[in-house]
Amino acid sequence: WMHFLENSQYQAQQEGLGNVTPEQMMAFMSEIQAMFDYGRHMLAKRRENPQNDLLSAIANVEIDGKPLSPEFLDGSWLLIVFAGNDTTRNSLSGTMRLLTEFADQKAKLMANEELFPNFVHESIRMVSPVTYMRRTATTETELGGQPIAEGDKVVMYYAAANRDPAKFPNPNQYDITRENAKEHLSFGHGPHVCLGQRVANMQLDSAYRNILRRFPDIKWTGEQTLAPSNFVHAISSLMVDLGT
């Protein structure tokens, strides 16, 4: 579903919405419906039989004594499928690439497990799974000497912010001991900060520990496929040699 949504966006941009065929539109609507139907099925199961997991927490939470409405449940499911999946898997794949390109950092990590939390932050900084977001200025201001008027559309490039030498010295160097690695902007900032950032950090920490424990000699082969997206750094596939 995630690949389908990304590729559909690219296809529409390349061909123009006016050239999308009825068959393509039907396929799109069918897949979207299937995605939400499955989400409603899973959330209903968690209401009937709660588990110790995120879906159960979402399905059974109450606000003002009432459970979330179907619309909010649909929105939460979409966030899990897309935002909570796409970014995490791309961080994971991108980090496997980094550990191969910067073998000295991998050796440092393997020698000291206490570096894992900061390693996660530095990896997210380097990969920057979300490329940009756009906002509308609500008041007149100035940023870096650039006047911004109320109502102006402002694009924030997270990948650029995460490689800003004024914030991160030698920004293109992958350094898992970087003191301010946690201050990256991959999760956004302020009222629009990603609500799932703690879940993402826990997922990635657990995944890296288990992968490297089981496959300590894992290496990227140099083969990868990037999805045609300017919004996310979408790695469709990244081939590795498990070293077994």
- Residue 39 structure tokens: 């989400």
What is the per-residue pLDDT across 85-105, written as a single tens digit (0 to 9) for each? Answer: 878 889 999 999 999 999 999
HSE of 220, CA atoms in CB hemisphere, 13 A: 19
**E strands of 121-233, at which residues?**
132-136, 141-143, 146-148, 153-157, 219-226
Confidence of residue 17 (pLDDT cuts 50, 70, 90): low
Rg of the chain over Cα atoms, rounded to whole angstroms, equals 20
Confidence of residue 232 (pLDDT cuts 50, 70, 90): confident
153-157 vs 146-148, strand pairing mode: unpaired
Residue of 89, 141, 96 lying closest to 119 (CA atoms): 96
Within the chain, residue ranges assigned H as helices are 2-15, 22-48, 54-60, 70-78, 84-101, 103-111, 116-127, 158-161, 197-214
What is the per-residue pLDDT across 148-167, written as a single tens digit (0 to 9) for each? Answer: 999 999 999 999 999 999 99
**Mean pLDDT score, 183-208:** 91
- Residue 192 structure tokens: 């629009």
Q: Is the pLDDT of residue 190 over 80?
A: yes
Structural domains present in the chain: 69-241 (1.10.630.10)
What is the per-residue pLDDT across 20-46, written as a single tens digit (0 to 9) for each? Answer: 778 878 888 898 899 999 999 999 999
Confidence of residue 16 (pLDDT cuts 50, 70, 90): low
**Bridge partners (DSSP) listed for residue 233:** none
CB 130 within 8 A of CB 115: no
66-67 vs 62-63, strand pairing mode: antiparallel
Cβ neighbours, 10 Å, residue 143: 9
Mapped onto helix, strand or coil, the DSSP state of residue 221 is strand
